[in-house]
C-alpha cells in the first residue's frame, strides 16, 4: 500500500501533497505503468485521510493523465517517461542595462514635464468613476467610435483633412501600424523607404520579410527617378518633416509623387510623425489632403506630442484599402486598451490636445532658439553649419573636422556624450553624410546648455 | 498687383487667408511658374495689411514649396501642377453593424459584471495620483519590470513555473504576440497548428505568409505521427484545455511532444489561454514546467480572466530564443501603455488577481452546473451528448439530427440564435465533426436559461 508521511506536506493541502507524492512515484518509476492504485476508501483508511481527499488527488492525477480509470475496476498508472523533476532555478538572463549619459543627443526625447498629466489623470478618473465598465466593454476592431470621431474632427480642424471616422484604424503605436500595413499591402510588393531615414521602418518591414528598397533623397525629398527605378509599389514617406534630415517636401514634388502612385497603381504611406511641431506658420498640408486618386495611407501617432509610452497611433485608409482591410484583416482586435481610447477621445474633443500643442510649440520654439544660440556662440561655432526648418525636435549639425564619425563617437562615449550621426540612418553609404550630427534637443534643458557646449567642445577639439 | 478682398476671410487669420488666396491662384494657374510676387512691403500697402502679415503668408507658401526665393530679388512662383481643390466630402464607408442576438452561443464571452472594476479603478487612481508621470516615463521594451516580476511570482505561486522576469515579454494581446513570435521563429519554418483549433492563430500566421499546417488531434491532443509528417519546426498547442474541443493533453503525450521538439530541434508554443478556469482541482501543470531542453515558448493573456478589451498578454521565452529576440527584435517598443502595466502589476502583487480568479471559478462552476442541468432536462435532452472537462467557458454538444450544420445555422439565425459548429474550427474537413456545437456559455445568465432552452428546442426540432 502507498505510504506517505502526510505531516511533511508544509503549506500544501492534504490532497495536493498526496497528488504530488503519487505523481513523484509515477515519474520515478516506483509506480509502474499499468499498476493498479489502491481503492480510494482503502488508501484513505491507510493514510488516515478522508475519502474526499484521496478522491481529489486521484482526480487531479487523472486530469493530468498520470492515471486512467477502467469502469468498476479503479485507477491505473498511465505509461509515462521516467524523469527527475526540473530544477526550479530559472535561467539567469540579466537584462542589458541602459547607460546613463551626461549628454544624450541621439535619443529622440520629449520633455515629459510639458504634458498636462493632471488633466489626463482627471479625465481618466472621470471615465473610471462615471463608467468603469467602459474598461471591459468590447471595442470595435478599428477603435472606439468616439475616439475616431475626435481624431477625424482634429484632422479637419487643424490639418484641413476630410476624413470619415470609418476610414480610421487605431493601433498600439507606429511599429504596430507598420506591421498591419505590411499585411494589408501586397506582401511581395517592394516598399521604397527614404534613405537616410527612420531605422525602425526598415527594421519592421525587414523583419516581416517584405522587400524594402532604400531610395535616396534629393533636396526636395524622395528622388523620383530612383523611386521609379526601384520597382517599388509602395513608398513610405515623411513629406512634412523628414527624419533625420528635417527636409520638407515642396508642393511640386508632392504632386509628382502622387502622379507616380496614380500612374503606377502604387500607394504612398504618409508617415506624419511630427507635423504638429512646426514653430512658424501653419502645419504643412498633408499629401492625403491633395490625394484625389485614393493612393495615400495617412498615419500619425501621439508619441511625439503626448508620450511614446502611451502607444497610440492611427491610420487613415483610402476607400479601396479600407474594403480590403475589412475583408482580410478585420479579425485583429484593436490593440489599444479601452481606457486610453476613452481618455484620449475626451482629451481631443474637449480641446486639451490643441491647447497642449500650442503650449508645446511655444516652449519648444524658445528651447530651440536657446539651443541654436548656444551652438552659435560656442567655442566651435566657426566650425559648424546648422540646418533646421523651424520644426521638430532635431536638426542637423555639420562639423568641419579631420576626425572620422567613428572617432568622434568614441571620444564622445569616453566623456559620457552620446552622439547620433546622419550616416547611421542611411542604408546606402555616401560621403556627403560624413561629419554630420543629428542633434535631438527635445530633452536639452536651457540650464544644461553651458555644460553641454563645454562637453561638445571637448569632443570636437582637433 | 494681387488683389484679394480681405473681409471675406471668415474665421481665418489675415495671413492664413492671404496664403490661401495666393495658393489658389498658383494652383489655378492665375499665377504662372517663374512669376515674381510683389515685394512684401508693396503688397502690404496695396492690401492695407501689415508687412508681418504678408511675410507670414509668403513664409508659409515658401515652406510648402509654392514659391521660392532668390537672394535680393524676392519671391517667385514654383512650377506646380494646376489642380482644382479636392472636394471636402470624405468617402462614405459605413461600418458593418453587428447583429444583436436573442441567444449567442458562438461568441466567447466573459461576464463583465464579475470583474472588480472598482478595485481596478482604485489602483488606477492610486497610480495617477501618486506618480502621474509614470504614464509618460519610457517603459523597457520587454515590459515594466514590476509587472514582469509580478507575473513571474504568480506563475511560480499558482502554476509551479520557475521563470526569470527577464524571460518575460509583455505585449498587447495574443494576436500581437503571435505576430512577434512569427518574426522571432524562422520565417520559413512550418508551424503546425491544432485542427480543429482557434481560427485567429491560423489567420495571423497566414496573413504573415508563414507556412502553417493544420495537424489533426486524436483523443490525447496533437497527433504525433501527423506532426512528424507535417515537416513542422514549430507546434502551436493548447495542451491545458484545447479550444474548441476542451481536450486536456495527458502527461504521456506532453512528454512525447517535448521529445519531438528536442530531437527535431523544434519549438512548442504553449498557448495557455484559459488554464486559470479549471473548476475542480488544481490547474493542469504547464509543458513549460517540465521542459528541460528550452524548447517551450509559454504564452498567456488576461483576456479570459480580466477582459479582452484590456489587451494584455505575455510570453516566456526559453534562453536561446530570448537571446535571439534581444539580438533581432528588441527594437520593438512595448505595445502596452504604461498605466495598464502599473495597474496590473499592483493588481497581481496585492493578490486581487488570484482572489478574482477564485471567485470566478466558484461562480462559473455554478453557472456551468446550471447550464449543464438545463441542457440535461431540456426537451431535446435525449438527443444530445455533452462533453466537457470541468474547465473553460465552453463545451461541446453533439446532437442527433437529420439536418445539416448549415441547415441548423440558418434555422438558428431565423430565430435570433447564433450557433457555432465544431466544423467551422477545422481546416481539414471530417465527418466526425458534424452535428457538434461549440457552446460558449460565459455570457449565459442562469435566469436566461429557460428561454435559451426553448429557443434551442425550436432550432433543434426535427
Contact with chain A for residue B312, Cβ under 8 A: yes
Contact with chain A for residue B91, Cβ under 8 A: yes
Question: Shortest Cα distance from B214 to chain A (angstroms)?
Answer: 19
Question: Shortest Cα distance from B330 to chain A (angstroms)?
Answer: 10
Phi, psi for residue A176 in degrees, rounded to 5: -65, -40
Mean local confidence (pLDDT), B321-339: 95
CA-CA distance, B359 to A385, in Å (whole number)? 67
Q: Which CATH architecture has domain A115-351?
A: 3-Layer(aba) Sandwich (3.40)
pLDDT band at A132; cut points 50, 70, 90 = confident
CA-CA distance, A409 to A395, in Å (whole number)? 18
pLDDT band at A135; cut points 50, 70, 90 = confident
Write out pLDDT tens, residues B22-37.
999 998 889 999 999 9
Please determine, for residue A179, whether its predicted confidence score (pLDDT) is greater than 90.
yes
Mean local confidence (pLDDT), B342-352: 96
The whole-number pLDDT of residue A86 equals: 65
Phi, psi for residue B270 in degrees, rounded to 5: -95, 105
- Global pTM reads 0.91
Three-class HEC string of chain A? CCCCCHHHCCCCCHHHHHHHHHHHHHHHCCCCCCCECCCHHHHHHHHCCCHHHHHHHHHHHHHCCCEEEECCCEEEECCCCCCCCCCCCCCCCCCCCCCCCCEECCCCCCCHHHCCHHHHHHHHHHHHHHHHHHHCCCCCCCCCHHHHHHHHHHHHHHHCCCCCHHHEEEECHHHHHHHHHHHHCCCCCCEEEEECCCHHHHHHHHHCCCCEEEEEEECCEECHHHHHHCCCCEEEECCCCCCCCCCCCCHHHHHHHHHHHHHHCCEEEEECCCCCCECCCCCCCCCHHHCCCCCEEEEEECCCCCCHHHCCEEEECCHHHHHHHHHHCCCCCCCCCHHHHHHHHHHHHCCHHHHHHHHHHHHHHHHHHHHHHHHHCCCCHHHEEEECCCECCEEEEEECCCCCHHHHHHHHHHCCEECCEHHHHCCCCCHHHCCEEEEECCCCCHHHHHHHHHHHHHHHCC
Q: Give B76's DSSP letter.
A: E
Percentage of chain B surpassing pLDDT 90?
70
Contact B282 A78 (CB under 8 A): no
Give the residue from B26, B114, B138 showing the smallest Cα distance to B75: B26
Please determine, for residue B430, whether its predicted confidence score (pLDDT) is greater than 70.
yes
The whole-number pLDDT of residue B273 equals: 85
pLDDT band at A461; cut points 50, 70, 90 = very high
| Residue A447: all three cell numbers together | 540650464
Contact B86 A162 (CB under 8 A): yes
Conformation bin of residue B311: beta by default, left when phi > 0, alpha when psi is -120 to 50: left
A140, A173, A255 member nearest B80 (Cβ): A255
Please determine, for residue B96, whether its predicted confidence score (pLDDT) is greater than 80.
no
User: Which chain A residues have a beta carbon less than 8 Å from that of B16?
Assistant: 282
- Residue B423's SS3 state is helix
In chain A, which among 216-275 make CB contacts under 8 A with chain B?
Answer: 220, 248-255, 259
Write out pLDDT tens, residues A371-425.
999 999 999 999 999 987 777 889 999 999 999 999 999 999 999 999 999 999 9
User: Which chain B residues have a beta carbon less than 8 Å from that of A296?
Assistant: none
Question: Shortest Cα distance from A22 to chain B (angstroms)?
Answer: 14
Residue B364 belongs to what H/E stretch? helix B352-376
CA-CA distance, A315 to A185, in Å (whole number)? 13
| Sequential DSSP letters for B17-41 | HHHHHHHHHHHHTSS-TTPBPPPHH
pLDDT band at B194; cut points 50, 70, 90 = very high
Residue B353 belongs to what H/E stretch? helix B352-376
- Residue B429's SS3 state is coil
Give the number of A-B residue pairs with CB atoms closer than 8 Å.
287
The whole-number pLDDT of residue A308 equals: 81
Write out pLDDT tens, residues B260-312.
999 999 999 999 988 888 877 777 889 999 999 999 999 999 988 888 888 89
A166, A309, A338 member nearest B93 (Cβ): A166
Please determine, for residue A177, whether its predicted confidence score (pLDDT) is greater than 90.
yes
Contact with chain B for residue A36, Cβ under 8 A: no
Write out pLDDT tens, residues A343-366.
999 999 999 999 999 998 888 899
In chain B, which among 272-301 make CB contacts under 8 A with chain A?
Answer: 278, 280-282, 284-285, 289-292, 294
Mean local confidence (pLDDT), A126-143: 89
Contact with chain B for residue A133, Cβ under 8 A: yes
Domain A103-108+356-460: assigned CATH number: 3.90.1150.10
Q: Are A69 and B143 in contact (CB under 8 A)?
A: no
Please determine, for residue B222, whether its predicted confidence score (pLDDT) is greater than 90.
yes
Q: CB within 8 A of B151, min separation 6: which ones? A: B163, B165, B168, B170, B314, B348
Q: Chain-centre distance of CA A6, in angstroms?
A: 52
User: Which chain B residues have a beta carbon less than 8 Å from that of A81?
Assistant: 252, 255, 259
- Residue B260's SS3 state is helix
pLDDT band at B354; cut points 50, 70, 90 = very high
- Residue B146's SS3 state is helix
Domain B6-77: assigned CATH number: 1.10.10.10
B135, B166, B250 member nearest A117 (Cβ): B135
The whole-number pLDDT of residue A87 equals: 62
Please determine, for residue B135, whether its predicted confidence score (pLDDT) is greater than 90.
no
Write out pLDDT tens, residues A217-239.
999 999 999 999 999 999 999 99
Q: Which residue has the higher pLDDT, A195 or A12?
A: A195
The whole-number pLDDT of residue B215 equals: 97
Q: Where are the domains of chain B?
A: 6-77, 103-108+356-460, 115-351
Among A341-345, B243-247, B385-389, the range of highest mean pLDDT: A341-345
Contact with chain A for residue B335, Cβ under 8 A: yes
pLDDT band at B178; cut points 50, 70, 90 = very high
In chain B, which among 148-167 make CB contacts under 8 A with chain A?
Answer: 152, 162-164, 166-167
In chain B, which among 410-439 make CB contacts under 8 A with chain A?
Answer: none
pLDDT band at A195; cut points 50, 70, 90 = very high
A63, A280, A309 member nearest B337 (Cβ): A309
Contact with chain A for residue B14, Cβ under 8 A: no
User: Which chain B residues have a beta carbon less than 8 Å from that of A96?
Assistant: 326
Contact A138 B309 (CB under 8 A): yes
Q: Which residue has the higher pLDDT, A115 or B324?
A: B324
Question: Shortest Cα distance from B375 to chain A (angstroms)?
Answer: 24
The whole-number pLDDT of residue A92 equals: 67
Q: Are B25 and B68 in contact (CB under 8 A)?
A: no
Q: What is the mean pLDDT of chain A?
A: 91
Contact B65 A253 (CB under 8 A): yes
Please determine, for residue B95, whether its predicted confidence score (pLDDT) is greater than 80.
no
Contact B124 A120 (CB under 8 A): no
Q: Which residue has the higher pLDDT, B194 or B160?
A: B194
Nearest CA in chain B to A113: B133
Contact with chain B for residue A78, Cβ under 8 A: yes
Mean local confidence (pLDDT), B174-189: 93
Q: Are A222 and A269 in contact (CB under 8 A)?
A: no
Write out pLDDT tens, residues A36-95.
999 999 999 999 999 999 999 999 999 889 999 998 899 999 999 887 666 666 666 777
Query: In B198-333, at which residue ranges do the beta strands (DSSP E only) sit?
Result: 212-218, 221-222, 234-237, 267-271, 296-301, 313-316
User: Which chain A residues have a beta carbon less than 8 Å from that of B124?
Assistant: 124, 128, 339
Percentage of chain A surpassing pLDDT 90?
70
Mean local confidence (pLDDT), B69-94: 80
A128, A139, A326 member nearest B121 (Cβ): A128
Write out pLDDT tens, residues A317-338.
999 999 999 999 999 999 999 9
CA-CA distance, B360 to A59, in Å (whole number)? 21
| Residue B167: all three cell numbers together | 524571460
Chosen for mutation from B94, B170, B209, B337 (greatest number of chain A CBs closer than 10 Å) is B337
Q: Are B215 and B196 in contact (CB under 8 A)?
A: no
User: Residue B196: is the preceding peptide bond cis (ω within 30°)?
Assistant: yes
A183, A281, A311 member nearest B63 (Cβ): A281
The whole-number pLDDT of residue B138 equals: 87
Amino acid at each position: 500500500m502507498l505510504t506517505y508521511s502526510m505531516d511533511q506536506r508544509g503549506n500544501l493541502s492534504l490532497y495536493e501533497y498526496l497528488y504530488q507524492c503519487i505523481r513523484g512515484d509515477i515519474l520515478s518509476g516506483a509506480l509502474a505503468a499499468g499498476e493498479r492504485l489502491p481503492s480510494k476508501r482503502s488508501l484513505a483508511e491507510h493514510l488516515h485521510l478522508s475519502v474526499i481527499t484521496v478522491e481529489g488527488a486521484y482526480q487531479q492525477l487523472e486530469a493530468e493523465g498520470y492515471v486512467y480509470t477502467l469502469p468498476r475496476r479503479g485507477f491505473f498508472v498511465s505509461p509515462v517517461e521516467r524523469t527527475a523533476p526540473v530544477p526550479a532555478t530559472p535561467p539567469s538572463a540579466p537584462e542589458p542595462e541602459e547607460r546613463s549619459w551626461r549628454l544624450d543627443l541621439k535619443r529622440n526625447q520629449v520633455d515629459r514635464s510639458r504634458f498636462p498629466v493632471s488633466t489626463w489623470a482627471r479625465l481618466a478618473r472621470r471615465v473610471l468613476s462615471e463608467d468603469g465598465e467602459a474598461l471591459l466593454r468590447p471595442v470595435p476592431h478599428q477603435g472606439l467610435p468616439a475616439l475616431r470621431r475626435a481624431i477625424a474632427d482634429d484632422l479637419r480642424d487643424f490639418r484641413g483633412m476630410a476624413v470619415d471616422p470609418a476610414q480610421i484604424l487605431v493601433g498600439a503605436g507606429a511599429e504596430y501600424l507598420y506591421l498591419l500595413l505590411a499585411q494589408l499591402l501586397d506582401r511581395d510588393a517592394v516598399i521604397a523607404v527614404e534613405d537616410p531615414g527612420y531605422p525602425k521602418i526598415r527594421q519592421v518591414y525587414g523583419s516581416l520579410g517584405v522587400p524594402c528598397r532604400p531610395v535616396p533623397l534629393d533636396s526636395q525629398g524622395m528622388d523620383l527617378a530612383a523611386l521609379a527605378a526601384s520597382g517599388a509599389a509602395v513608398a513610405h514617406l515623411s513629406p512634412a518633416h523628414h527624419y533625420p534630415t528635417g527636409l520638407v517636401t515642396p508642393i511640386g514634388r508632392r504632386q509628382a509623387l502622387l502622379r507616380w502612385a496614380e500612374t503606377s497603381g502604387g500607394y504612398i504611406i504618409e508617415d506624419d510623425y511630427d507635423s504638429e511641431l512646426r514653430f512658424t506658420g501653419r502645419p504643412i498640408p498633408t499629401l492625403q489632403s491633395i490625394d484625389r486618386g485614393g493612393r495615400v495611407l495617412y498615419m500619425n501617432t501621439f508619441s511625439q506630442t503626448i508620450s511614446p509610452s502611451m502607444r497610440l497611433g492611427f491610420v487613415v485608409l483610402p476607400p479601396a484599402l479600407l474594403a480590403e482591410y475589412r475583408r482580410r484583416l478585420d479579425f485583429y482586435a484593436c490593440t489599444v486598451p479601452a481606457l486610453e481610447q476613452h481618455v484620449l477621445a475626451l482629451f481631443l474633443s474637449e480641446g486639451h490636445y490643441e491647447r497642449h500643442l500650442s503650449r508645446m510649440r511655444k516652449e519648444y520654439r524658445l528651447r530651440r532658439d536657446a539651443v541654436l544660440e548656444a551652438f552659435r556662440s560656442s567655442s566651435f561655432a566657426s566650425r559648424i553649419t546648422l540646418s533646421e526648418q523651424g520644426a521638430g525636435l532635431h536638426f542637423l549639425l555639420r562639423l568641419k573636422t579631420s576626425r572620422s564619425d567613428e572617432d568622434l563617437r568614441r571620444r564622445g562615449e569616453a566623456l559620457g556624450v552620446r552622439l547620433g550621426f546622419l550616416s547611421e540612418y542611411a542604408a546606402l553609404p555616401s560621403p556627403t553624410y560624413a561629419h554630420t550630427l543629428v542633434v535631438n534637443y527635445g530633452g536639452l534643458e536651457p540650464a544644461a546648455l553651458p555644460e553641454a557646449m563645454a562637453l561638445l567642445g571637448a569632443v570636437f577639439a582637433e
